């Protein structure tokens, strides 16, 4: 969750990271963000309640309030780990029931699934250099994961804590995904996976995904202009991703 107020140290770390990224972007241009492969996890629920945005309606000030019926959401859910870049989805993984994301599992995904997917779907990216962007969740920063990233010759971009506003999956992908799943009900993991898979692959590759990745330089700039603080406008979709 994002804190209401970042400490001075956290703000400084955010500014330093964004400044470092912008220097690389100025030096390399679009080819820098074009090498970014971003990854993150989110839950897909058997019942995803409608978001506040989805249920907004026009009413006169004198109109009676509409009745809202209480629902009993299912506790079933599926963990999605998603890796994507400016050209679209590279690899999606759905966690088997009862399992949790560990450093060993995450390192295995990087080595035995993500790298082969990049090799087959993004010719030349391995030779030009993969810039891996993920957050500071413990499985992502464990020693075994860091060692795996180094062995794969991936470069891991610095990502400051509590910064969904500069994490593409948070500010661009997972919010719309949850909105699309809003008020839908599923009976099994397979139904959730199918719905999520279809939504991901229905997005225009060279518009939706490219727009998310190429929004990063502007967001880095905004973070620096706010002296490391969180800009409310930039956080509009991020709140959906921590539900």
Q: What is the pLDDT of residue 46?
A: 87
Q: What is the pLDDT of residue 97?
A: 78
Domain that holds residue 40: 8-44+75-242
Tell me if 82 is assigned to some domain: yes
CATH number at residue 195: 3.30.420.10
CA–CA dist 171, 163 (Å, integer):
10
Tell me if 26 is assigned to some domain: yes
Residue keyed to tokens 């860091």: 146
Q: What is the pLDDT of residue 112?
A: 98
Please name the residue ranges forming H helices in 122-172.
125-128, 138-141, 143-151, 168
Write out the two tokens for 203.
Answer: 């997005």
Q: How many CA atoms lie within 13 A of 70 on its CB side?
A: 1
pLDDT in tens, 47-88: 866 554 444 445 545 556 555 444 444 468 899 999 999 999
Q: What is the pLDDT of residue 102?
A: 95
Neighbours of 231 (CB within 10 A): 13
Tell me if 54 is assigned to some domain: no
Tell me if 58 is assigned to some domain: no
Pick the closest to residue 234 from 159, 149, 165 (CA basis). 165
Tell me if 113 is assigned to some domain: yes
Tell me if 33 is assigned to some domain: yes
**133 φ, ψ to 5°?**
-120, 115
DSSP string, 98-166: T----HHHHHHHIIIIIHHHHHHHSTTHHHH--EEE----HHHHSHHHHHHHHHTT-EEPP--SS-GGG
Q: What is the pLDDT of residue 184?
A: 86
CA–CA dist 177, 201 (Å, integer):
11
Q: How many domains does the chain have?
A: 1
Tell me if 52 is assigned to some domain: no
Per-residue pLDDT of the chain (243 residues), as tens digits, is 444 579 999 999 999 999 999 999 999 999 999 999 999 999 988 886 655 444 444 554 555 655 544 444 446 889 999 999 999 999 999 998 778 899 999 999 999 999 999 999 999 999 999 999 999 999 999 999 999 999 999 999 999 999 999 999 999 999 999 999 987 889 899 999 999 999 999 999 889 999 999 999 999 999 999 999 987 666 554 444 444
């Amino acid at each position: 969750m994002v804190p209401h107020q970042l400490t001075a140290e956290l703000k400084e770390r955010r500014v330093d990271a964004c400044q470092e990224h912008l220097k690389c972007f100025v030096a390399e241009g679009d080819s820098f963000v074009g090498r970014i492969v971003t990854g993150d996890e989110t839950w897909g629920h058997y019942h995803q309640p409608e978001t506040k945005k989805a249920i907004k309606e026009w009413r006169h000030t004198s109109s009676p309030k509409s009745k809202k019926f209480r629902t009993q959401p299912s506790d079933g859910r599926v963990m999605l780990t998603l890796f994507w870049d400016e050209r679209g989805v590279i690899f999606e993984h759905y966690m088997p029931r009862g399992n949790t994301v560990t450093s060993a599992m995450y390192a295995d995904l990087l080595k035995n699934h993500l790298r082969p997917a990049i090799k087959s779907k993004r010719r030349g990216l391995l030779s030009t250099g993969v810039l891996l962007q993920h957050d500071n969740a413990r499985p992502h920063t464990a020693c075994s994961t860091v060692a795996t990233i180094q062995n794969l010759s991936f470069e891991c971009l610095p990502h400051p804590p509590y910064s969904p506003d500069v994490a593409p999956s948070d500010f661009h992908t997972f919010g719309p995904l949850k909105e699309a799943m809003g008020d839908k009900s599923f009976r099994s993991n397979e139904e959730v996976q199918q719905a999520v898979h279809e939504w991901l692959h229905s997005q225009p590759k060279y518009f939706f995904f490219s727009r998310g990745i190429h929004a990063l330089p502007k967001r880095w700039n905004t973070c620096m202009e706010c002296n490391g603080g969180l800009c409310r406008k930039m956080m509009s979709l991020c709140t959906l991703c921590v539900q």
